[in-house]
Structure 1
Amino acid sequence: MSGVVDLAAVKAAQEAKAKAEQARAQAAREGGAGAVSPADLVVDVTEATFERDVLQRSAQVPVVIDFWAEWCQPCKQLSPVLERLATEYNGRFLLAKIDVDANQLLMQQFGVQGIPAVFAVVAGQVLPLFQGAAPEAQIRRTLDQLVQVAQQRFGLTGLTVDPNAEPGAEAASKTPTGPYASLLSAAVQALEAGDLGGAIQAYKNVLADDPAHPEAKRGLARAELLQRVRSMDPQKVRQEAADKPADVQAQIAAADLDLAGGHVEDAFGRLVETVQRTAGEDRDAARLRLLELFEVVGPEDPRVTAARRALARALF
């Protein structure tokens, strides 16, 4: 198929496998993923839920992304095939459907030139699969290769599917608890509805009472990142960053886009390099944004640990 990449040539496969194993261990400490319903194998994803439903999930299972639109006739041919195969493969991959009309930022970040376009995310790494409708036999071969590489090189064995499980039960099991449960639930609901301002305020309300609350700190950092990138023109931002390597604000904006699109190491590396070659207020601005992005990813992530060491070397 046009656009198919050699998945066996994925870079840094061992590092990605280690990241996936750590993410699964973290999930186990938090209560585990549990079994999912067959209905949960196909999810509609938005800019607000991309980090949770795609990037985080990709540490457990390959996530196949279907970029589509209601007016796209080839999409109406391809999408039902992918949905049926997601059920048939029984948890070996998760299908994430993204409406390009409602989520143009994600379309731009992935560099989608036409639809339907199909990508995969494995252990946080983006892999282009194919563009346009294709024969089912070819789609199956691509999915088989994806599943094989995900298991052998990244250690991803997929999700456990229980036909008797309630749809959405896993998400419900992660409903916030504790004294700030109502505020945290309101923040999550606002995020899912695309109300970033409401989510930010809900998280700030928690932090006003408990400044060290880890879930609220991370949620606020994520919501603020989404709010910053929502109004960006990705092509313009990346061009300015390329044309103006000494412009700290241009590098900060590009790092935000990198992270929002799942390119974690690129975002961290860009800001570490900016810290290295700047001083004074410019250096502080780059350093502080890097610390904010650390919060988005989470302090337990090995990429954050590595970037913290690199930042320390750049500073001292």
Structure 2
Amino acid sequence: MAASQWVVEGTMENFQQVVVDGSRERPIVIDFWAPWCGPCRALAPLLEKLANEKAGEFLLVKINTDENPDLAQMFQVEGIPAVFAVRDGQVVNNFTGLLPEEQLRAFIDDLSAEAPAPAEPTPLDQAVELEAHDRGAAGNAYRAMLATAPDDPAARVGLARVLLSAPGNEPQAIPLLSGVDFGDFATEAQRLKAIIYLREVPHADADLAAAQTAPTAEAKVALARILAARSDYTGAMDELLAAADDDRQLGRTAVRDLMLKVFEVIGPRSPQTDDYRKRLQSRLY
């Protein structure tokens, strides 16, 4: 990342201050990227060039999706580079992929237009915003929504997501994810169910240490289950690929089944999913 006062690194820790609060002073442009993403590397210098040219008309916040998956999930990022323009705490524009410089300039110039009066934030907007910096307050906000509308799918999914951000809350999250039509929130509800499913495997430190001692393909699958239960999805998928290298038949059954479940969690159309899907297929066919 080029050194500039107009380009900063975004994390979960500084998101509230830099993005949410900062967007009330000037527009924020968020660039979701990853080191392995070629189009991201092509887009980055264009965005940084415009940030320096505009000299403070907007702030460019670069967020590494590998290091900040929670922020990527919050914005429902399914492909990178993904760019979001935020003003007054609200997303006002976005695009995915690599744009030519002319179109990118038009995207930035639109931010300089006179901003409309911000809409009054809804309870859901407030709860989602709280998730970035105060999970306890976010949980209370979702509970308040459910007190008046018990079948609200957004509140059910939101509260389940907050509960699952810490281990041990799976029994409380399970009933929130069934019994209603989730509509637009069905994909997120299914992702959270997949997290709960993966966490059913005992995954304490002692379980992890025991699983790391056996070298067989079956043991690698068992280790992958524990890593996935501990939310180490990349580590789990690497173990699954290693198991498929050792035993192609196992790769077509247990390895594939568990890999698909992990894909549900990290995003079935995410670049990381596409990468590991191709790597598994190359081992099996």
TM-score bracket relative to the smaller structure: 0.3 to 0.5
| Greater Rg by CA | 2
Give the TM-score normalised by the residue count of structure 1: 0.41
Tell which has more relative contact order, 1 or 2 (C-alpha 8 A, sep 6+). Answer: 1
